[in-house]
Amino acid sequence: EMGRMAEAGIVLERFYSGSTCTPSRAMMMTGRYNIRNGMQDSVLHSTEPRGLPLDEKLLPGKLRDVGYATAGVGKWHLGMYRSAYLPERRGFDHWFGIYTGGGSHTAHFSVSQPFTVRGIDGTQMWQGSNLYEDE
């Protein structure tokens, strides 16, 4: 695919990344500069009622659309205050990792304080630390 793109004149020879977690992840998942989706400023914290805009089509969703199974392992850090922002709703078939910054995937602990995720109507959707496994 990269060879075909190069033949068509699309040569990817420079990559500009965000300097922190959320901005760089937003760029990687959307293929767009983070200034285009509002994720350029800072990292998302567990109490923030925002995330990567839901109208952005993410890489795992695009891969799923063409027949790939998708799984994510690691740190999400792209929003979690509503279930629509979670990795499984953004194209991943399976997810194992933490939603926010700080934690250990191998020791299965989070350095963040426990928190509550609430639905748009204020109902509690989930409560605990930020390590999550879908199965």
* Residue positions annotated with a catalytic role: 21, 77
Structural element, H or E, at residue 110: strand 109-110
d(CA 30, CA 119): 25
Cβ neighbours around 64 below 10 Å, total: 15
How does 8-29 read in b/e, with b if 16+ C-beta sit within 10 Å?
eeeeeeeeeebeebbbbbbbeb
